Amino acid sequence: MFIQLLNSVLSSIYPTQAQPDYEAFAKTRATKDELQTQATNNNSYMLASSDRAAEENLDVNTEFYDYLLGKCPNELTEDKLTEFVVEKIVELIHTPQKILVEMPAMPTSVTNLMQALSDPDFALNTLLDQVEKEPVVAAMLIKQANSAKYKRGLKPVSDIKTAFINLGSTGVKEGVLMGFIKQLTPPSNVYFKLFGERIWLHAQQSAEYARVLAKDLLDEEDSEIAYFVALLNQVGKMIIFRLMIDAFKVVDPNTPPNSRALKALMHKKAHELTLACAEFWQLPEEVLREFPNQHKTFISPYSISACVAQAIDISMVIKLVEGQFIEARQGLVYAKEQLLCDEAENLLIKEISPLIEGAQA
């Protein structure tokens, strides 16, 4: 997606003719034994007991970046090549228009559908015509209609009209959004399977939780905005991930990006890039104002932004427990101490409880 742009930016170190080695990034990760040894030494990973978890403040963001991109060994040497690439990408982010014009445009079908589906008298055939002009979105809708959540009967859905009927307005919104955002992810390969897909799945899970919380705490209309915001909130991470992959195709396909530098880049710049995308796509003000800033502390849970922020936290904790980066009991402590309301706490507990029962079985 960004190869042409990065070729011009990184022209001073032109690529070799070698083919990309996407598995190389995984080879830089510490082994399981190394992680366990390191955890024992620095007390940053699996804590010995729930009492210890209660005493120490769990840094979910730091742990989650390790889950997304791998734990960096302490002995990792300085990587001048990655530093150079990061520096150039930061320069691009400071002028985001250069990145945005290389991205797929927000389809008219997305913005039109979001508006039209809010009208109970929308014209189905008009919407079908719009979606059929976006093959990726249409394919995602059909896939969504065949999922366990929406499938009706034994016969698979193979056309857009049936997909619309089965999905309903809410399901169509989900499918259209996911069809668009999916275009931002790298092509399927080992590297993406290992890391990039985790960002995508986190975005989907966060969106579902945001919808649940906003529906409980606010109302139905706000719950749909919360879903939209939470799903798009990870776009900045996806773009940075894609930029790094494409950049290393340009500078040296056989050298993996340093995950430590990639984590720092995501942490510092992902939110800024997400907002730039939202403004570039001319999203409504009611959506733009709800993107939660990772440095903002919420006092009240009764806003779309707070619902989204808590949903993201809940998803991060669940993914960390599933990946055995933290203990389930640490997640329960986090629910009690960090989430703003009973609804959010109960949602996290509900999702973690089966993991505890599975571990005890």
Nearest to 331 by CA among 212, 323, 209: 323
Residues counted in the chain: 361
Q: pLDDT at position 139, please?
A: 79
Q: pLDDT at position 117, please?
A: 61
pLDDT higher than threshold 90 for residue 318? yes
Q: Which residue has the tokens 């109970």?
A: 120
Tokens encoding 99: 């990145």
Instruction: Check: CB of residue 287 under 8 Å from CB of residue 230.
Output: no
Q: pLDDT at position 311, please?
A: 96
For the residues 12-41, what does the mean pLDDT come to?
Answer: 47
Write out pLDDT tens, residues 139-184: 778 888 888 888 887 888 888 888 888 888 777 777 777 777 777 6
| Structure confidence at residue 106 as a pLDDT band (50, 70, 90) | low
Q: Which residue has the higher pLDDT, 32 or 121?
A: 121
- CATH fold for the domain made of 62-71+80-360: Hypothetical protein af1432 (1.10.3210)
Tokens encoding 160: 């857009």
Instruction: Check: CB of residue 225 under 8 Å from CB of residue 290.
Output: yes
Write out pLDDT tens, residues 176-224: 777 777 776 666 566 666 677 888 889 889 999 999 999 999 998 888 8
At residue 266's C-alpha, the angle toward residues 259 and 262, to 5°, is 20
Taking only Cα atoms into account, the Rg of the chain, rounded to an integer number of angstroms, comes to 21
At residue 246's C-alpha, the angle toward residues 241 and 250, to 5°, is 145
Q: pLDDT at position 149, please?
A: 81
Cα separation values, 19 from 23, 251, 271, 274, Å: 12, 12, 32, 31
Q: pLDDT at position 189, please?
A: 60
Q: pLDDT at position 71, please?
A: 77
Q: Which residue has the tokens 């109960």?
A: 346
| Structure confidence at residue 85 as a pLDDT band (50, 70, 90) | confident
| Structure confidence at residue 6 as a pLDDT band (50, 70, 90) | confident
| Structure confidence at residue 49 as a pLDDT band (50, 70, 90) | very low
Say how far residue 237 (Cα) sits from the centre of its chain. Answer: 7
**CA 344 to CA 269: how far, in whole Å?**
27
Instruction: Check: CB of residue 175 under 8 Å from CB of residue 140.
Output: yes
Q: Which residue has the higher pLDDT, 287 or 335?
A: 335
Q: pLDDT at position 168, please?
A: 80
| Structure confidence at residue 40 as a pLDDT band (50, 70, 90) | very low
DSSP state of 21: -
| Structure confidence at residue 76 as a pLDDT band (50, 70, 90) | low
pLDDT higher than threshold 50 for residue 35? no
Query: Which of 165-169, 189-193, 280-284, 355-359 is predicted least confidently?
Result: 189-193
Instruction: Check: CB of residue 235 under 8 Å from CB of residue 207.
Output: no
Q: pLDDT at position 176, please?
A: 72
